[in-house]
């Protein structure tokens, strides 16, 4: 999609159109079936159907949505693979969240060019260098 800042209008790629269907058990997650179609809506047999699993993980910050592709030809096969694929996606997401947390914890804020202007902490307590 084109950026709104470059002055061009966003346009869809008519060669990459899919019809989307949603399936859910209303408990564990959702499977989206993306069926390739031509720009006129007729099926496009030259491209494969895509199945995408979706679930949510509760964290202290709230629900985190997780999406993952299911390597499956049919809905039945996608349902059978959902659990294992969801578990892998959750593990990957948790690793990424932990890495982000580590990076944020290790980042330091350093004053820009003001380091020389900072007072000696001892001076603030009255125990600094002797006055001349």
Over residues 80-111, the pLDDT tens digits come to 999 999 999 999 988 998 898 888 888 766 66
Assigned domain for 6 exists: no
Assigned domain for 131 exists: no
Assigned domain for 116 exists: no
pLDDT digits (tens, 9 = 90+) for 24-72: 999 999 999 999 999 999 999 999 999 999 999 888 888 889 999 999 9
Assigned domain for 42 exists: yes
Assigned domain for 129 exists: no
Predicted model pTM: 0.69
Domain, as residue range, for 37: 14-104
The total of other beta-carbon atoms located within 10 Å of residue 44's CB is 17
> How many domains does the chain divide into?
1
Assigned domain for 28 exists: yes
Looking at residue 31, its pLDDT comes to 98
Assigned domain for 7 exists: no
Burial class (CB in 10 A: 0-12, 13-18, 19+), 85: buried
Looking at residue 130, its pLDDT comes to 56
Query: Three-state DSSP class for 32?
Result: strand
Burial class (CB in 10 A: 0-12, 13-18, 19+), 84: exposed
How many Å apart are CA 12 and CA 33, to the nearest integer? 19
Assigned domain for 62 exists: yes
């Amino acid at each position: 999609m084109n950026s709104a800042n470059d002055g061009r209008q966003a346009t869809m790629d008519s060669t990459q159109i899919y019809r989307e269907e949603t399936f859910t058990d209303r408990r564990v997650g959702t499977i989206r079936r993306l069926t390739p179609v031509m720009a006129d809506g007729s099926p496009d047999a030259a491209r494969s159907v895509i199945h995408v699993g979706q679930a949510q993980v509760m964290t202290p910050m709230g629900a985190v949505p997780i999406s993952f592709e299911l390597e499956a030809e049919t809905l039945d096969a996608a349902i059978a693979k959902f659990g294992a694929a969801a578990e892998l996606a959750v593990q990957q997401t948790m690793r990424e969240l932990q890495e982000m947390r580590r990076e944020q914890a290790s980042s330091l804020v350093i004053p820009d060019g003001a380091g020389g202007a900072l007072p000696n902490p001892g001076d603030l307590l009255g125990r600094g260098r002797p006055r001349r």
